[in-house]
Structures are given as C-alpha cells and as structure tokens.
Amino acid sequence: MKKYKIAVLSGDGIGPEVVAQAIKVLDAVGQRYGHTFRYCHALVGAIAIDQTGDPLPEETIATCLESDAVLFGSIGHPKYDNDPSAKVRPEQGLLKLRKTLGLYANLRPVTIYPSLRDLCPLRPERVEGVDMLIVRELTGGIYFGERGRSEDKLTAFDTCTYSAYEIERIARIGFQEAMNRRKQLMLVDKANVLESSRLWREVVQKMAPEYPEVTVNYMFVDNAAMQLILYPAQFDVIITSNMFGDILSDASSVLAGSLGMLPSSSVGSHTSLFEPIHGSYPEAAGEDRANPLATILSAAMLLDSLELHKEAEQVREAVAQVMEKGLGTEDLKPKIKCTCSELGDIIADIVEDTENHSLRIQKISDRISTII
C-alpha cells in the first residue's frame, strides 16, 4: 500500500487522449493493489507555448523534480514544423526537460505480439524471434551540440560532441541490460567516418572486459538500418547515439506493426520519464482513434521503475490479452476495432480483474455487427 506522485505532461496532439488511457490503467492498478497515484498535470510543448510563451515552464520542471515519475504524452504541432524560422518550438520543451532531469538513457524495447505479425511488411519468418532493446543516448550528441548559421545565413551547422564520460555511462546501462537479457551487445555507430563514433568504440572496447559474459559487436549505422529489416532477430541490446537511436527506433517500430506500439523509459540523475516513442499525430488529435498501447506500455515501465514489478507484468499481460482477442485501434487493422478510450477501458477492466471487460468487448462486437 503505497502513495506515488506522478507528474503528467500530456503535451500536444494525441498526447492528452493516450495519456488519459494510461492513467485509467494506473488507477486500475491502484484499485487492485491498494496503491494511490496522485497526478500533477503540467504544461509542455505547443500548448505550453500557447499558454505561457515557454515550451517548458519552470513550474513544469519543479513538478517533475518533486514527483516519483513523469508520464509524458507527445509534443509537436504542424504550425511549427512548417515554419523553419520559428524561434520557439515545442520540441525544445522535451529536449530541455531531458537535459534538466539528466535523462541520459532512453530504453526502447521492441517486442512483437503474435497477432500483429501480419501487419509487419516483412515476411513472418523474418520477424520470428524479434526481441530487442534499443538503448539510445539522450542528452548529448548532435541534438545538444553547438549549432548555428553563418552571417549571411546561407551556411548552417550542428555539432556532434561526445565525451568519454557520456559514452561510458550510457554503455554501462547497455552492458547491464544485456546481462539481464541474451548477453549480446551491439554498438551502432559510424566509426568509419565520425571521430565521435571512434571514441564510442574506444570506450566500449575498454569496458568490455568488465562484462566477460557479454558478447560485444559493432555495426555501422547504415548497415544496421539494413540489418534491422533483413534479419532483425540478430539484435539483443543496441547501444547508440542520440540521433541514430531516434532514427533506428522509428524504423524498428515497423517490426512491431505500428509506431503506436513502442513504449520507452528515460532514466538518469533525477526523476525518470516514460513516454511512447511516437509523435503527436495531429491529424488524429481529439478523434479518439489514436493507439494508446505505447503509452499504456510506458506506464508499465513506470511501474517497474517504482519496483511494482507484479503490477507492471499485470498491465503487459492485459495488453497481451486484448491483442490475443483481436482488439485494437484502427492502425492495428484489428478484428474488433475500438476507439482509443474503449481500448483503455478494456485494459483497465482486465487489470482491475472485473468481469466488466467481457461486457465491454461484447458491446463493441455488437456495434460492429450492426454496422456490417
């Protein structure tokens, strides 16, 4: 019986609706196991710019620092995407938050639900056995290096800088995660071209003897992009820089059948943060059709971080059950199509162990058969 304070940063686009489903599920966990989750909502992203002029108001930082965990939705708005001259951008809020909370490691597990195999454009035998973890460095590299324009504005630069210290701490997480998994670590870099990548190799090679059970391999990022599609089951733990991790994790979501399936946790020196890897999907905002599973699975990772492992497993189990039953949002091309909130309700009911969920599924099936 414990009390937890969760900072909730729903953000933009579909953020609020998918986060609302994760909260339902956390509340169901609370009901079943007698925990209390207290939510403190705070602004971030485009909505924060609209209301305060700042994509990450001080108040939001304070709320996160005072909380046991941060549940994050998504940020971004097309009006900024199409305006390269915008001085203030929603993404700055997320980047500053990662930096301020010292969230240097972003863990993105890629698991495949059997019922979604057909959604993956690869042949089923290629996806067989895929179970990997992308460990993405999150507070360094080209995302945070010096950038700018020449005086005539016709030349621009972004710098990729990494210190041995930054590489060692993220690599350590990779090695530790590998120890708890299949003990295969793959460093993905571009060491044939980039000096920063050569430092990554140097540091990782130096650390390898500390983990004699872990097999360390190295792969150039262009080849890794190909291998992820050609033979994805070869990967166990991938460690990589900020930008390569960003790109490779979106690519690997194709294996899972939808970008709406992949959760993530970001850990570091302060409160940990949990967010789906997808963006704000503005086209679907407010339409109750977004896939809430990545956020619900992120909430499961949040529970793990609070040492509530049984509860986390319960949530993952509930997600597996709805997948098995053929339920899902439109992106999953499911047998039984649900709205975002219906899927959240069903998962929450299963977690709470009420019989309600059969009734809800029945209602949705009836609705579908009436339409047909």
Instruction: Find the shortest distance in angstroms from Cβ 76 to ligand IPM.
Output: 6
Residue 73, contacted partner among Mg ion, ligand IPM, none, CB below 5-8 A by kind: none
Of 168 and 250, CB closest to ligand IPM: 250
The stretch among 16-24, 106-114, 142-150, 243-251 that binds Mg ion (CB under 5 A) is 243-251
Of 17 and 246, CB closest to Mg ion: 246
- 293 sits near ligand IPM (criterion: CB under 6 A): no
Among 19, 267, 277, 296, which residue interacts with ligand IPM (rule: CB under 6 A)?
A: 277
Asked if 236 contacts 185 with a C-beta cutoff of 8 angstroms, the reply is: yes
Instruction: Find the shortest distance in angstroms from Cβ 91 to ligand IPM.
Output: 4
Instruction: Find the shortest distance in angstroms from Cβ 365 to Mg ion.
Output: 35
Burial of 193 from C-beta contacts in 10 A (0-12 / 13-18 / 19+): exposed
Q: Could you report how far apart the first and last alpha carbons of the chain are, in Å? A: 47
**Number of residues forming the site for Mg ion (CB under 5 A):** 1
Q: Is the dihedral of CA 68, 144, 175, 221 positive or negative?
A: positive
Of 277 and 302, CB closest to ligand IPM: 277
The encoded tokens of residue 317 equal 């189990």
Q: Which residue is closest to ligand IPM by CB?
A: 91
Among 12, 137, 246, 345, which residue interacts with Mg ion (rule: CB under 5 A)?
A: 246
The encoded tokens of residue 207 equal 């650390």
- 91 sits near ligand IPM (criterion: CB under 6 A): yes
The encoded tokens of residue 3 equal 């009390």
Residue 91, contacted partner among ligand IPM, Mg ion, none, CB below 5-8 A by kind: ligand IPM
Asked if 54 contacts 327 with a C-beta cutoff of 8 angstroms, the reply is: no
Of 11 and 57, CB closest to ligand IPM: 11
Burial of 261 from C-beta contacts in 10 A (0-12 / 13-18 / 19+): buried
Instruction: Find the shortest distance in angstroms from Cβ 173 to ligand IPM.
Output: 17
Name the residue type at position 41. H
The encoded tokens of residue 160 equal 């990729």
CA distance 142 to 195: 13
- For residue 12, the 8-state DSSP code is S
Contacts of 120 (CB under 8 A, 6+ apart): 112, 127, 254, 255, 256, 257
- For residue 352, the 8-state DSSP code is H
The encoded tokens of residue 279 equal 């963006």
Residue 348, contacted partner among ligand IPM, Mg ion, none, CB below 5-8 A by kind: none
- 81 sits near ligand IPM (criterion: CB under 6 A): no
DSSP labels for 144-186? TS-EEE-TTS--EEE-----HHHHHHHHHHHHHHHHTTT-EEE
Of 242 and 329, CB closest to ligand IPM: 242
Instruction: Find the shortest distance in angstroms from Cβ 183 to Mg ion.
Output: 28
Instruction: Find the shortest distance in angstroms from Cβ 280 to ligand IPM.
Output: 8
Active site residues: 143, 190, 222, 246, 250
Instruction: Find the shortest distance in angstroms from Cβ 74 to ligand IPM.
Output: 7
Asked if 80 contacts 87 with a C-beta cutoff of 8 angstroms, the reply is: no
Contacts of 133 (CB under 8 A, 6+ apart): 107, 108, 109, 110, 177, 181, 236, 237, 238
Among 246, 331, 342, 349, which residue interacts with ligand IPM (rule: CB under 6 A)?
A: 246
In the shown chain, the binding pattern of residues 33 to 72 toward ligand IPM, with x for contact by CB under 6 A and - for none, equals: ----------------------------------------
Interface residues toward ligand IPM, by CB under 6 A: 76, 91, 94, 246, 277, 279
Interface residues toward Mg ion, by CB under 5 A: 246
